[in-house]
Amino acid sequence: MKSLSNIQAFVRVAEAQSFTGASNSLGLSASAVSKAVGRLEADLGIKLFHRTTRSISLTPDGTRFYEGCKQLLFDLDLLVAEIQGNHQLAPRGQLNLSVPEAFGRVCVVPVLRQFLQAFPDLMLDVSIDDHAVDLAAEGIDVAIRTGPLSDRANLIASRLTTYSMVVCASPEYLSQHGSPQHPEQLPQYACLNFRNRATGRFYPWTFSVNGSREQYAATGALVVDNSDAIVQSTIAGLGLSQMPEFLGAEALSKGDLVEVLQPYRPPEIPVWICYLDRRFVASRIRAFADFMLGRKNDFAAMHVLSKGNNHGITSR
């Protein structure tokens, strides 16, 4: 952009929905404001407003550009305030989040109400998806990721919690078929597979065997791509499934599910909260990261399973 003042004029016009209204707030003539917006449109090569003799409204491109510019100008105000030692401005604007489907639904969404109560001037736009997001390319402020981070060099990443993968079945299924004693016995059982929607691939069944991380083939008559469906199908007695501990914790504590192959649990999987490594981090991003990291103990408690709940199941 050749001039920040052109962006400021554009934002004021979008908010006032008139050049005259914007000129009053900026202390400029309506003609000067119109020329500033015209210069901005020429720089961008796009039309920002639909103009008629009676009204003015944003184009679809203009709406997208307005949302970004509004946040940009607010972040600039925050930066100036921070440099000047004024920390009284509360975080505001839109915060774009990306969270994985299962962890997001079970562990993140339930605490968002508390966050919004603490920061009423913020609006959250939450994408719940298992694909590996590119924060810069997709305009994501904060991402929660599970497993190893391949691109950590460009991120500020803090470990939020860890979780285990557990193999479960219903008491009824185990009464009929017995409990496996080793992952090598999985081909003898109906196994429910979970497919990653982003890649189309099955999540592998992973175990710790003799100190090594091993993967075993697990086949069955049912494949799903929804985490809640895998839990409900397992409770319904359709077979064994391997799932995140936090996902099955409630059903395990109630006795609707029973864990098997516990001695072969794989290493715990880390959960990270990440945002781009920038010299100036917006206060809305810091606020959410600090809020989530302050609840580490709560996340750990979400997936603590009750122990010794075997319901009299006998093994083969």
Q: What does the pLDDT read at residue 136?
A: 76
> 3-class DSSP state for residue 40?
helix
| Confidence band, pLDDT 50/70/90 cuts, at residue 312 | very low
Q: What does the pLDDT read at residue 159?
A: 93
Which CATH fold would you assign to the domain 94-316? D-Maltodextrin-Binding Protein; domain 2 (3.40.190)
Residue-wise burial string across 220-251, b where 16 or more C-beta atoms lie within 10 A, e elsewhere? bebebbebeebbebbbebbbbbbbbbbbbbeb
Domain boundaries, the chain: 4-83, 94-316
The listed CATH number (1.10.3720.10, 3.10.20.590, 2.50.20.10, 1.10.10.10) that belongs to domain 4-83: 1.10.10.10
Residues 6 or more apart whose Cβ sits within 8 Å of residue 56: 13, 17, 18, 19, 49, 50
Is it the case that residue 117 has pLDDT exceeding 90? Answer: yes
pTM score > 0.75 for this model?
no
Q: Is the dihedral of CA 98, 99, 105, 106 positive or negative?
A: negative
CA atoms within 13 A on the CB side of 197: 11
Q: What does the pLDDT read at residue 315?
A: 36
